[in-house]
Amino acid sequence: MTALVDVVAVACLLAGALLCLTAGMGLLRFPDVLSRMHAGTKPQVLGVLLIMVGAAIRLHGWSASWMLLLVAAFQLLTAPVSAHMVSRVAYRRRHVRRDLLLVDELRSSGQDRLYRGDEPADAPPEEPGAALAESRERDEAP
């Protein structure tokens, strides 16, 4: 019976490590902020949860299991919320490649004007990264 428990624990640990690795690779390879936020939260949270489950199975102690449960709960609460906030800031600052968006609900609902300032809703979209270039020019100006 202990061999079966060890195999399940190792399988959870390896699957969790693989998901965390794919999350890290997605952060490096994806082209824009929204894609990177997706890669940084979805597989990473599941990977950490699998690692916590594997460690809890392997450690056999209630004190360690409670601590791992707290780590998993904080991971579930903080990672998606922080990614959502970073994505909203990136959208407001125009660091999002709009050509990669299939549906832009903020633009279609008219709320996009709040994020673009006084521009009319039918104005052509900006080049990706143009706001970043403008802010860098302002920072470098004497």
User: Which residue numbers in the chain have pLDDT < 50?
Assistant: 118, 120
pTM for this model (two decimals): 0.66
25 with 45, same domain: the answer is: yes
16 with 68, same domain: the answer is: yes
Residue-wise pLDDT for 52-84, tens only, equals 999 998 887 788 888 999 999 998 899 888 888
77 with 134, same domain: the answer is: no
108 with 75, same domain: the answer is: no
CA–CA distance, 12 with 56 (Å, rounded to integer): 10
